[in-house]
Amino acid sequence: MNRDDLFTAAPYRRFKEFTGPGADRRAVLCSALEDLFLPYTILDIAGKRHIAVGPGGRDGKAPGIMLTAHYDRSPRSSGANDNGAAVFLLAETAALARRGGMPPVLFVFTDGEELSGDEGLQNQGAYGLGMYLREKGLDGTRIFCFDACGTGDTLIISTTADQLLKGREKNAGAEALRRKVQELRRTALEAARTARLEKVLLIPTPFSDDGGFLRAGLAAQTITVLPRKEAAPFAALVRREEAAAAALLSRAAARPEDRGSIPETWRCLNGPSDSPLRLTPEYWKQVTAFAEALISGSW
């Protein structure tokens, strides 16, 4: 499907409106879900409004897996790649899952991923959502966060959680969380093989909703995408010293002088350069194939 055909079909025909200036992204997303005949629930948690689709699947069982994508954006950006593309890709995947009778899966379009000023991870919408899941006894749900999945041909399975977890005390709870994160990573690698993706890397990435979930004590794995020409040099830097690469990402969020060393696609996030023109929808089927493989692997 070419670009013109893609953006005339559901749910993508709402994409231009979703990324437009002053858009009510929650309302547009709800309309896109209605176009796909997907029932949804608004979860009001700690001042954030998350949109949940599911659980689908058979026998009314609790979801074994949760796929998330944040629908909020930086006020300086159209939010095309951060995070419009992933939102619509998961909406399409939800429709496919519902039609295909896949196992119980929960799709959550999260609010409040973007932080400002000196806000910490406990201010993320994912933190409140994580605490809510724990209260409901759903803390065993496997969580995969899709973010900035619209530009590039190389699937990135983030290793940034390792740096955050290194700062945790060495106790039974912290060790269990580390093991769960490693299990999610192995699941993601297996899904990438099932989807027959040829370009897959494990490298540090900017934090997404995984930061808030981890702060709430829930394991979560971020999935993103980069163009190969950007991913390969950064992967080489990581091979030399992963901790230095992770620290560089952290500094680059606050220090413009450090941004030149990170992939250009990431430098464009949260600003006016995050334009729909930078998107590469010719590779989007790789992301939905990967998401479907994640779901199928949860049988």
Q: Is the pLDDT of residue 2 over 80?
A: no
pTM score, whole prediction? 0.93
The SS3 assignment for 221 reads strand
Among 252, 210, 65, 249, CA closest to 124:
210
State pLDDT tens for residues 177-219. 999 999 999 999 999 999 999 999 999 998 899 999 999 999 9
Q: Which helix (H) or strand (E) holds 199?
A: none
* Containing structural domain, residue 151: 3-296
* pLDDT score, position 82: 96
pLDDT of residue 119 exceeding 50, the answer is yes
Q: How do residues 23-65 score in pLDDT, each as one tens digit? A: 999 999 999 999 999 999 999 999 999 999 986 444 445 678 9
pLDDT band of 102, cuts 50, 70, 90: low
HSE value, Cβ hemisphere, 13 Å, CA-based, for 135:
7
pLDDT over 80 at 255, yes or no: no
pLDDT confidence of residue 260: 63
pLDDT score, position 60:
47
- Confidence (pLDDT) at 58: 41
The enclosing domain of 16 has a CATH number of 3.40.630.10
Split into its structural domains, the chain has a count of 1
Helix axes 25-35, 85-100, angle to 10 degrees: 30
pLDDT the model gives residue 94: 94
